[in-house]
A and B are shown apart, each in its own frame.
Chain A
């Protein structure tokens, strides 16, 4: 009896942990992300540098590594690799993640929206526009 209770407790702990992880990392939808990405269009494009750097290939790229783009000292010193986790943190609060960044934007507060944008950026990197 004691043993089965311990098993049950362990199972509940594992399930709770799995649920917490699932809640922390929603699955992104690239189509929804494409629509959300239109919010970035004042400063960013996929294929070319604008007020912000181009986004083709951003997922997996080192921060401050797009040739020809004049990064802020803060971003040059950030030493990040843009994967799902770092992009999620940066998009949630750019100025908290990289204090002094010139991406003076309050961030995307909804985790699902961030996941959608990241999914879009990942897929867009493989699109003909980015080849």
Chain B
């Protein structure tokens, strides 16, 4: 069933969010695969995969902080506020499984920074916040797209692609909330 087959936007959004949860479960399963599975990647290859996961983890922490800024800005009205908090929750889930997977690979997950710089002075309306979030989510799609082919462990690549799909849904729904065509192109880059 497509987004446009639902009776209204609210139902469609809820269905899409539920669906994204199912996708994330798949990602979590792949990322949190047993140590024996992950052990298939060893040495320099594992070090490379850990670097990729840590870069992704850093970006996820920053996304969590960005949504916190948005949620606390007082500019988001319900139900947009709920949407932002839901998306922040996804990023927390991503960060959690990325961190645990780095541990399982024998690496040291980076922590969140004590402080993040965001263009808060330019966030004056709900649309500003949504635009800012959409920009970050689009960047996240590109970042995962650029990371997926680099994984030595194909299970990690699959899991990275699953997170990519979730970020792409965030981006599309934020564009929809802004009154823009939700999916502007057939391919992401």
Instruction: Report how many A-B pairs have Cβ atoms within 8 Å.
Output: 66
CA distance A95 to B136 in the complex (A): 23
Q: Mark B134-166, 1 if CB is under 8 A from A, else 0.
A: 011011101101110110000000000000000
Residues facing B in A36-75 (CB within 8 A) are 38-43, 45, 47-51
Q: Which residue on B lies nearest to A41, using beta carbons?
A: B139
Is B2 located at the chain interface by the 8 A CB criterion?
no
Residues of A with C-beta under 8 A to B119: 45, 47
Q: Is the CB of A95 within 8 A of B143?
A: no
Q: Is the CB of B146 within 8 A of A106?
A: yes
Is A102 located at the chain interface by the 8 A CB criterion?
yes
Q: Mark A90-116, 1 if CB is under 8 A from B, else 0.
A: 000001000010111111000000000
Residues facing A in B113-146 (CB within 8 A) are 116-117, 119, 135-136, 138-140, 142-143, 145-146
Among A38, A39, A45: residue with most chain B CB under 10 A: A39
**Interface bin, chain A:** 20 to 34
Residues of A with C-beta under 8 A to B56: 104
Residues of A with C-beta under 8 A to B139: 38-43
Contacts A50-B62, A107-B146 given: A41-B55 contact, CB under 8 Å?
no
Residues of A with C-beta under 8 A to B54: 102
Residues of B with C-beta under 8 A to A107: 146
CB distance from B60 to the nearest CB of A (A): 9
Q: Is the CB of A104 within 8 A of B51?
A: yes
Residues facing B in A1-42 (CB within 8 A) are 38-42
CA distance A98 to B139 in the complex (A): 22
CB distance from B41 to the nearest CB of A (A): 15
Is B107 located at the chain interface by the 8 A CB criterion?
no
Residues of A with C-beta under 8 A to B138: 38-39, 41
19 new A-B contacts at CB < 8 Å, known A38-B142, A41-B142, A104-B56 = A38-B135, A38-B138, A39-B138, A39-B142, A42-B139, A42-B140, A43-B59, A47-B119, A50-B117, A51-B59, A51-B62, A95-B150, A100-B51, A104-B51, A104-B55, A104-B150, A105-B146, A105-B150, A106-B150
